[in-house]
Amino acid sequence: MKTTPDALAALIGQRVDLIDTPALVVDLDAMDRNIQRMADFARKHQVRWRPHAKMHKSAELALLLQQAGAQGVCVQKVSEAEALAAGGVLDITITNEVIAMPKLHRAARLATALASRGGRLGVAVDSAEGIERLAEAMAQSGSDAGMDVLVEIDVGQGRCGVPPGEAAVALALAVARHPRLRFAGLQAYHGRAQHFASAGERREAIARTVQQAAHTRDLIEAAGLPVPLVTGSGTGTLVNEAASGVYGELQAGSFLFMDADYARNERDPAQPAFEHALFVKTQVISVRDTHAVCDAGHKSHAIDSGLPTVAHLPADRALRYANGGDEHGILYAEGDKARLPALGRMLWLVPGHCDPTVNLHDFMIGVRGGLAQGVVERIIRVDARGALS
Amino acid sequence: MKTTPDALAALIGQRVDLIDTPALVVDLDAMDRNIQRMADFARKHQVRWRPHAKMHKSAELALLLQQAGAQGVCVQKVSEAEALAAGGVLDITITNEVIAMPKLHRAARLATALASRGGRLGVAVDSAEGIERLAEAMAQSGSDAGMDVLVEIDVGQGRCGVPPGEAAVALALAVARHPRLRFAGLQAYHGRAQHFASAGERREAIARTVQQAAHTRDLIEAAGLPVPLVTGSGTGTLVNEAASGVYGELQAGSFLFMDADYARNERDPAQPAFEHALFVKTQVISVRDTHAVCDAGHKSHAIDSGLPTVAHLPADRALRYANGGDEHGILYAEGDKARLPALGRMLWLVPGHCDPTVNLHDFMIGVRGGLAQGVVERIIRVDARGALS
């Protein structure tokens, strides 16, 4: 396991301006407020929350969320589950299909280890062959620990999952036939809908999603098998699934940090006012007549959901960030009174998409007291960085 | 320093099909042929080559390139230089501006350490203030080791660098006034031109670049200061700079692996026939009526220069890769006789852009004997992965 490098450990207690650039910085006060908002929201709607750790990939943050009431974590990969389990997380759902036998053997071992510590492992399936492989791995593990199995239905994402309806019934019944597999419910996530720009579009899309999930649940129960849970949702649509009466668990993860992409979309009035808590600190390294250049490019932040915005500037002094390649950003003066920043100036970027941005960094630097005058409180390890398998 | 994980070390000597997915795999035979082609090309044109290590970030590969005749490495960041120096690379040029005093102190220490082992460090500047800061850091280091300083001119990239001409003369003379700084020449890289689709466009763009660099060089020499080197170029345009008589050094790095973006562009007949040597191995984890889903998304490969292509399929059985998010790729049957791949099938992707793809991985798996029947020969550490500062 990686330890914190000396250069980062030495930062603890230091003022924000001593953080070298580019660096991934968490505004801990803003993050704590986001956690409180989410906890309040889930309590009000009487729904469980299991934040997706594919976003933060940190055992420390997973445990912090659990202290605030979260059920456990979701992950996408077996290796993410292993990394978080090593950091003390005991309740893990892999919201994705696992097909390779070596990975399934690892999952079976992990299920056994978690069960022995009072935890559990869940995994999604969307094929009969996937169920057979999983059952074989569990049988070969020789353990009595069971595995929770969610049947994934495609409720609009157009990726994995079987169509809602009869295909899902057949899979649920197939799961239930295996002694070491527990049918745990339906995985029903509409990922694309998270990013629809208007709140109305999102509401309509999730109305269909909810209807499909409810219909599939009813068919499975009519076949004699209880459906303990329908799980899914994300930060963009959680108000809709929470109010549905069908979803028992929310998997939203991005609320913790938020990103520029979510901020660009219309907020549903019912959605908690989550705020940006994740920033890339960058420095101006070159100034020209027409533009300035900073030291953060797309090796510092992901650009799949758009470019970062420059934070904490009044509108009339706004700067626009343009892509300068892997290691550079180009800054243009945009506000009426905006001037190009001086050589050496420190700036704060809000990444376009938090998940793949965090995955570029080994550590996040947690700041208490705000980004202007705060101090470094802790270094948060990205335990599952690069955990792909 | 990170060591190779047991799971990867155990792969050595094993057949390709045991590599779990997603994984970054180097076809070592193809890579070796690329190195030979580049060495032959540089010898024929009597030009030095200093491949950019921002691409591979590996000390092992840097040393392999040096054995084939490369001069040393270029990097973009002080932390990359530190990581490669720790792996035994002694001749390093930072082709980028360094402004923060803590980084400049680190660079000064590194210059001293490299000089003591017979090596050298170079860095680019594009401002009088940058030169003063660098000189101050070198003075405070108390060492007699000098630093090579390249004045960066903007020859079409529109990013860092001063305009060609008088501004560069002033900076070159300013460098020469400092006892511990050695004016080492001009950094003149037209990055955008690397990706122009037609060979004619690239030739025209670099003709202007060469003219600007030659003019600036002549002005500096007319001011009484010799210009030991003009350096720059990349894989897309190296035929043009190599034939210019002005460039003494080529910084091209991508030729080692190539990527889908370079392959999409028209090849100049004079350019060596570099071949793909970097692949993401992926597995099909879900099959639907309309598409299949594989386990490599943009946490496995960068998408800033386009999506990956699916390699090693005959044209009439081609598959098209579409973006499926952070952890998934969507595969469509494209060729006339193409059918969707079966659940569990292994496929090979050619990343759109090799540099930021390598930066997502801690290790590359080197295969000898081809991707169909070969065996794992070695695990190549990405020493400077995430080295941003």
In this predicted model, what pLDDT tens digit does every residue of A72-108 receive, in sequence order?
999 999 999 999 999 999 999 999 999 999 999 999 9
Angle at B264 between CA B258 and CA B269, to 5 degrees: 80
Nearest to A20 among B103, B300, B325 (CB): B103
Which residues of chain B does A285 touch, with a Cβ-Cβ cutoff of 8 Å? 96-99, 160
Question: How much is the pLDDT for B1?
Answer: 44
Domain with CATH 3.20.20.10 in chain B: 52-252
Which CATH code fits A6-24+274-381?
2.40.37.20
Which residues of chain B does A300 touch, with a Cβ-Cβ cutoff of 8 Å? 388
pLDDT at A1 over 60: no
**Which residues, including other chains, have CB under 8 Å from residue B70's CB and lie 6 or more apart?**
B39, B49, B50, B51, B62
Reported as a single tens digit per residue, the pLDDT across B36-78 is 999 999 999 999 999 999 999 999 999 999 999 999 999 999 9
Decide if A283 and B100 are in contact by the 8 Å CB cutoff: yes
Chain A interface test: which of B95, B134, B327 (most A C-beta within 10 Å) = B327
Decide if B161 and A76 are in contact by the 8 Å CB cutoff: no
Domain with CATH 2.40.37.20 in chain B: 6-24+274-381
In this structure, the strands spanning B309-310 and B346-350 are: antiparallel
pLDDT at B122 over 90: yes
Q: What chain A residue is nearest to B329 in terms of C-alpha separation? A: A159
Nearest to A285 among B99, B295, B302 (CB): B99
Domain with CATH 3.20.20.10 in chain A: 90-252
Question: How much is the pLDDT for B107?
Answer: 98
Decide if A160 and B293 are in contact by the 8 Å CB cutoff: yes
pLDDT at B2 over 90: no
Which CATH code fits A90-252?
3.20.20.10
Mean pLDDT value across residues B208-231: 98
Question: How much is the pLDDT for B161?
Answer: 98
Reported as a single tens digit per residue, the pLDDT across A234-260 is 999 999 999 999 999 999 999 999 999
Decide if A98 and B285 are in contact by the 8 Å CB cutoff: yes
- Where on the phi/psi map is residue A101: left (φ > 0), alpha (ψ -120 to 50), or beta? alpha
Mean pLDDT value across residues A307-313: 95
Q: What chain A residue is nearest to B297 in terms of C-alpha separation? A: A388
DSSP string over B122-170: EEEE-SHHHHHHHHHHHHHHT----EEEEEEB-SS--SSSBPSSHHHHH
Which is it for the CA torsion B32, B38, B39, B41, positive or negative?
positive
Strand, helix or coil for residue A287: strand
Our CA dihedral for B322, B300, A83, A377, rounded to 10 degrees, sits at -110
Q: Which amino acid is at B69?
A: G
How many Cβ pairs closer than 8 A exist between chain A and B? 145
pLDDT at A2 over 80: no
Chain A interface test: which of B57, B294, B388, B389 (most A C-beta within 10 Å) = B388
Decide if A326 and B54 are in contact by the 8 Å CB cutoff: yes
Number of C-beta neighbours around residue B9 at 10 A:
12
pLDDT at A10 over 90: no
Decide if A389 and B286 are in contact by the 8 Å CB cutoff: no
Which CATH code fits B52-252?
3.20.20.10
Question: How much is the pLDDT for B113?
Answer: 97
Which residues of chain A does B22 touch, with a Cβ-Cβ cutoff of 8 Å? 388-389
Nearest to A22 among B287, B344, B389 (CB): B389
Q: What is the ipTM of this complex?
A: 0.96
Question: How much is the pLDDT for A38?
Answer: 98
Question: Tokens representing B269?
Answer: 């007949």
Decide if A326 and B22 are in contact by the 8 Å CB cutoff: no
CA R_g for chain B: 22
Question: How much is the pLDDT for A338?
Answer: 85
- SS3 of B340-369: the string is CCCCCCEEEEECCCHHHHHCCCCEEEEEEC
Question: How much is the pLDDT for B6?
Answer: 84
Reported as a single tens digit per residue, the pLDDT across A323-354 is 999 999 999 999 888 899 999 999 999 999 99
Decide if B325 and A127 are in contact by the 8 Å CB cutoff: no
